[in-house]
Structure 1
Amino acid sequence: MERYDLVYQLYDEFDTGALREYQEFVDVFPAVDSRVALEHWQGASEELEARKDEIRAAFAAGETFAEVAARATREQAFTALDLDAKYERAVNVLVLDVDETLRSAGGTDNEIPRDTLHMLTEFHEQGVPIVICTGQTLENVKGFAIQGLGSEIVHSGELSIVYEAGTGVFTPGHGADTKQLLYEELDDEIRDVFDDVRSRVLPEAPEDLRRGCHLQGNEFNVTMKPNYETGSARAREVIDESLVYLLDLLADAVAGTVDLEDGRSVAALTRAFYADQDPEIRGVLEQEGAYPDVDGEAPAALTEVLSRIDVAYYEADAAEIGSLELNKVVGVERALSVLDVAEPFSLVMGDSKSDLRVMRWVAENDAGIAAAPEHASRETLDHVIRSDELVFDRGKSVDVLRTVYALNRFARLNRDG
């Protein structure tokens, strides 16, 4: 009987909904010092195993089907079958963004849900390395990773943190390779530009920006964050102003490295350069009345520098200057090297343009699949929909993790059978 037919049989003949409820209760039951509560947990565990035993006895691959039914819905199981048929590979590494992906201010109170954390521990126990890939600082990521996953997993040698969107990689348990400051590999010209911008960004900011935003504590990138709730109207206003300010500050820092003989404004040319690169940046400049009126193309001496520097805009969240030579793709490649994942087939989950770069990289190299929340950036969502349609609701990254859990179970059958 074909596997699709067997999965139909599994979900038609067994109460898989109740099975998943028992599994979730057993998985995420809080640690409490209560005899009654522990007896309740023990009873649920016994009922869970009894229900799994019924499935184990009904199918030749009963263990696989029991575990799939306990974790995945019917739709997730059939999606997993489709992915298995398409790629014929198991996911062997997770590459996960954090903010608005694993956790969401709108859907999870900005905490990673316990069911998501538990699924990550399941993948860890199966020997699947985890790469946390974020624009946040290392200390922030280490803090919630240890709190959510536990020190044992974080320091297992099977978890890596790509932080500040790829400027550094932290992989505990790997000796001299544990912490790699990728920005130190940049040449002096670019590092001097960033040093200049960082030293002036707050002291020279207009008063309303100094009061309305703060500088994220990055090691290298220059990131302005709002002092207001992310996504709010006031945060949007401040970040829009910050973007224009950062562009002009960058132009001033770069001006010392180029010589414009035609007398044109470096600030205007810099604004025009990034407006051409990103429609969102252009939209902000137009709305702020800051879109430049420039004639002709920028001289090569200027574009050669600007083409190495990334200006990122995250609506009502952040305005950032980073290096195009250091992005999440570069960080992920280094993390995979340290983790010794020679032939990656990864699950990449993210919501922003920086995550999209990783998604495109794995697509171009046949190195994985991509998933995104429903509120991801338009380009990111378009890419995910065109590939495997792994789109999940806000705060429900666990749904994709369960799908991939089922995929890996089915792929193991192919390998073992």
Structure 2
Amino acid sequence: MERYDRLYTLYDEFDAESLRAYQDLVDLFPPVDSRVALEYWESASDELAQRKGDVRGAFEHGDTYAELAARASREQAFAALDLQAKYDRGVNVLVLDVDETLRSAGHTDNEIPRETLHLLTEFHEQGIPIVICTGQTLENVKGFLIQGLGNALVHSGDVSIVYEAGTGVFTPGHGPDTKQLLYDGLDEDVRSVFDEVRARVLSDAPEGIRQGCHLQGNEFNVTLKPNFETGSERARELIDDALRYELELLADCVEGASADHVRAFYAERDPEIAGVVEDVPEDVDVPEEVRAVLDRVDVAYYEADAAEIASRELNKVVGVQAALDVLDVGDPFALVMGDSKSDLRVMQWVEEENAGIAAAPEHASPRVLEHAWDTDNLVFDEGAADEILRTAWALNRLAEQ
């Protein structure tokens, strides 16, 4: 209980809220060519140093408690101490989804907030590798990461991008292992299905889908996105139609399959798909040879956002494992942050392997949110990924004692 008592003392006897405000001001103060602004920053920096000095002098391991007060709220610090008591180790790699996790279209104008970017830089400076794990294309992710984190950090050798939900891994600075095309390892039986689906997905589409959707520029996955605003009613209707169309197209591309076979197979596996698919006969007997192929093909439905055909063998878990190999993280204890079903697989994997902790935004899909609550209660407000990063930062400081 001694460490808990120290935290009570820290947050009861020191103005940690003001200390954090000074730290954020010093860290996030924008570069301004103004003598007055520079003097203001220097004054805040001096005040920060004095307040940290007061904390250092009051505690054994004073540096640790000064950093805790400067970075973490009372709630975050106690959550970190609970995690340290439970797992007895700190985080040694970050595995982070992007859309609706690091950034949120509703609350951050689809930009990663400066607080979050700065904390990622802080983790990087502490030698913690970062794995960005996303369904987006590689070029898109590279672009906004370089813009937000800087070219030097992204190409430092300690950052890896798992893109298209695990079909490829890009880790700059690692020679022949810099770019790994994981889909190259699939055998011809499943590759041929994807090749045919990709070749026909727009040309064979009904006019409404062809005019209202676009094909996301993936290397491998086949993803239809709405031309209308994501989340809007028009986007919802269009993606529902696109999902039904993709299932019909997939049936046409798998030898021996019928539309009923494919609709029944995926409706049985995913209640969200079942809610969209129409006219699924009961007791459909899917032939074994058809089931063997469909078992290797994943169909994903993201309401009012996307309808996707991907490889079940190439998921975020496979991508993360490949990234960790390249980054030489042999005994991972990861902070996994995400909001979707593809992120849930990574969360479940680290739980099964005792290899990390999971966090989710409050608007995550129900199963992801349930997992986050049931494991370590790491749920954060929309657009506020920094809340969990601050908790992880505090965990690592406590684990160093």
1:114-263 equivalences under 5 Å are: 114-255=114-255, 258=256
CA contact (8 A) 1:282 1:291 kept: no
Q: Deviations over 1:97-130 (max 9, x none)?
A: 0000000011111100000000000100110000
- Give the whole-Å Cα distance in 1 for the aligned partners of 2:320 and 2:14: 41
Amino acid at match of 2:73: T
Q: Deviations over 1:333-389 (max 9, x none)?
A: 000000000000000000000000000000000000000000101111111111001
- Hey, what does 2:311 align to over in structure 1? 323
Residue among 270, 274, 278 paired with 1:282: 274
- Hey, what does 1:4 align to over in structure 2? 4
Residue among 244, 256, 260 paired with 1:268: 260
- Give the whole-Å Cα distance in 2 for the aligned partners of 1:26 and 1:44: 7
Amino acid at match of 1:68: L
The RMSD of aligned alpha carbons is 0.9
CA contact (8 A) 1:362 1:369 kept: yes
User: Please, which runs of 5 or more residues in structure 2 have no aligned partner?
Assistant: none
- Hey, what does 1:369 align to over in structure 2? 357
- Give the whole-Å Cα distance in 1 for the aligned partners of 2:386 and 2:113: 8
- Hey, what does 1:79 align to over in structure 2? 79
- Give the whole-Å Cα distance in 1 for the aligned partners of 2:241 and 2:153: 41
- Give the whole-Å Cα distance in 2 for the aligned partners of 1:317 and 1:38: 45
- Hey, what does 1:333 align to over in structure 2? 321
Give 1:211 shift.
Answer: 1.8
1:388-403 equivalences under 5 Å are: 388-403=376-391
- Give the whole-Å Cα distance in 1 for the aligned partners of 2:387 and 2:105: 18
Query: Is 1:91 matched up with 2:91?
Result: yes
229-238 or 75-84: which moved more?
229-238
Segments of 4+ in structure 1 off by > 6 A?
none
1:102-113 equivalences under 5 Å are: 102-113=102-113
Residue among 330, 336, 343 paired with 1:348: 336
- Hey, what does 1:261 align to over in structure 2? none
- Hey, what does 2:394 align to over in structure 1? 406
User: Please, which runs of 5 or more residues in structure 1 have no aligned partner?
Assistant: 259-264
Give 1:297 shift.
Answer: 2.2
- Give the whole-Å Cα distance in 2 for the aligned partners of 1:218 and 1:293: 33
TM-score by length of 2: 0.99
- Give the whole-Å Cα distance in 2 for the aligned partners of 1:7 and 1:46: 24
- Give the whole-Å Cα distance in 2 for the aligned partners of 1:21 and 1:127: 25
3-state DSSP class of the match of 2:224?
strand
- Give the whole-Å Cα distance in 1 for the aligned partners of 2:383 and 2:308: 25
Residue among 368, 374, 384 paired with 1:386: 374
Give 1:295 shift.
Answer: 3.9
Amino acid at match of 1:153: L
- Give the whole-Å Cα distance in 2 for the aligned partners of 1:314 and 1:296: 25
Give 1:296 shift.
Answer: 3.9
Q: Deviations over 1:155-201 (max 9, x none)?
A: 00000000000000000000000000000110111111111111111
Give 1:294 shift.
Answer: 4.9
TM-score by length of 1: 0.95
Amino acid at match of 1:125: E
CA contact (8 A) 1:272 1:291 kept: no
